[in-house]
């Protein structure tokens, strides 16, 4: 039997779909996100050319007690999925304790987004703590990846980390994520073959300098300019998802969004991410599911439920829905899928096992 939370989410998703045609339906949706992203540290041991986080120097992390307070407040608003991000989450010596506390307090699924550098060392620790799945950044094959990540030997560290996870828990859920750039787009077929060999899934990210930690990057030298190569790559991904859906599986609307985005066509959509996610940074600032917009409150001064139910929060997510914002690529997949709900349902039904393996319903 579905929990009431998921039933309500299903109704809200249907209302979000209808709202693109009947704007007044947005007023019927109570903001009730199911996923939270929590930045457990700003510190990072990568030196990525796509990111500024590592340039800020060492910063003091939130304490266990401060994060436990976050978890209690996430439970109060009904969060079902928690992602630990950074910086690099595995730099925290207490990462296993954080995983245990988050799961014990909220009952949520907990995952980590990591650069993989410390993955082999900490694999047993995080699996024993009960981590549900992990997302690892890998931006090319060998030297290409190391150039982008800025860490000699990074490629091997990731492979060794994945193999260590598999050795400890054979069926552990792992996704490899690649930010599509000029230097690595031609290596995507090799990356997917590698993921197939490793028994992990693969996904891609779209470079976006609207996010506050990406704003000072040299975007012009990173973006793909060869439009024929973009078309060739997206067409190849259609083929992969048909032949190897266990490795890569993305709906058609999202693939076409990516094609247009990579070709600077400014694809139009209605953004739903503010209704589905909430972000908490390492200073306890509260974001409406998007790092490109300023925070709407801080947990040192306010309760999360009060901020979430405030008029300013409601106005923010409604503005996001109509792209009265910097128009980032955060959550474009969720938006594309809900904007095109009938085709999404048709797409999901034969692939339901692929998606529900990550979330207990």
Domain ranges of the chain: 4-356
Per-residue pLDDT, averaged over 75-83, amounts to: 97
pLDDT at 209: 79
Mean local confidence (pLDDT), 74-79: 97
pLDDT at 213: 67
345 pLDDT more than 50: yes
Pairing of strands 297-298, 35-39: unpaired
Buried-state track 338-358, b at ≥16 Cβ within 10 A, e below 16: bbbeeebeebeeeeeeeeeee
For 212-233, the pLDDT digits (tens) are: 666 677 788 899 999 999 999 9
pLDDT at 330 (0 to 100): 82
What band does 347 get if pLDDT is binned at 50, 70 and 90?
confident
CATH 3.40.50.920 is the classification of domain 4-356: no
Interhelix angle for 188-198 vs 154-168, to 10°? Answer: 30
pLDDT at 267: 86
- What is the mean predicted confidence (pLDDT) over 295-301? 97
User: Residue 353: what pLDDT?
Assistant: 56
Q: What pLDDT, on the 0 to 100 scale, is given for residue 352?
A: 55
Q: Please give the pLDDT value at position 112.
A: 98
Please report which confidence band the pLDDT of residue 307 belongs to, taking 50, 70 and 90 as the band edges.
Answer: very high
**Rounded to an integer, what distance in angstroms lies between the CA atom of residue 118 and that of residue 322?**
40
């Amino acid at each position: 039997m579905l929990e009431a939370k998921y039933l309500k989410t299903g109704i809200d998703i249907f209302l979000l779909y209808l709202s693109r045609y009947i704007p007044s339906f947005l007023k019927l949706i109570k903001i009730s996100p199911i996923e939270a992203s929590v930045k457990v540290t700003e510190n990072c041991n990568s030196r990525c050319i796509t990111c500024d986080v590592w340039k800020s120097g060492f910063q003091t992390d939130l304490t266990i007690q401060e994060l436990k307070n976050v978890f209690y407040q996430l439970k109060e608003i009904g969060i079902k999925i928690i992602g630990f991000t950074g910086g690099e989450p595995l730099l925290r010596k207490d990462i296993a304790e954080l995983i245990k506390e988050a799961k014990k307090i909220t009952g949520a699924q907990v995952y980590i987004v990591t650069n993989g550098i410390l993955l082999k060392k900490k694999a047993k620790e995080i699996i024993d703590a009960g981590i549900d799945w992990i997302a690892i950044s890998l931006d090319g094959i060998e030297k290409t990846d190391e150039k982008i990540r800025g860490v000699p030997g990074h490629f091997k560290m990731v492979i060794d980390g994945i193999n260590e996870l598999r050795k400890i828990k054979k069926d552990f859920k792992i996704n490899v994520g690649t930010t599509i750039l000029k230097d690595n787009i031609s290596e995507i077929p090799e990356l997917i073959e590698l993921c197939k060999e490793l028994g992990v899934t693969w996904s891609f990210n779209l470079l976006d300098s609207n996010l506050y930690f990406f704003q000072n990057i040299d975007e012009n030298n990173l973006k793909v300019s060869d439009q024929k190569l973009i078309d060739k790559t997206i067409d190849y991904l259609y083929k992969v998802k048909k032949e190897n859906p266990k490795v890569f599986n993305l709906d058609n609307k999202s693939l076409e969004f990516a094609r247009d985005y990579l070709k600077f066509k400014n694809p139009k959509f209605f953004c739903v991410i503010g209704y589905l996610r909430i972000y908490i940074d390492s200073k306890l600032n509260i974001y409406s599911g998007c790092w490109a917009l300023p925070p709407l409150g801080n947990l040192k001064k306010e309760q999360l439920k009060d901020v979430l139910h405030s008029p300013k929060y409601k106005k923010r997510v409604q503005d996001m829905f109509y792209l009265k914002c910097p128009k980032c690529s955060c959550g474009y997949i969720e938006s594309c899928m809900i904007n095109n709900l009938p085709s999404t349902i048709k797409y999901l039904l034969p692939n339901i096992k692929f998606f529900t393996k990550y979330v207990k319903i």
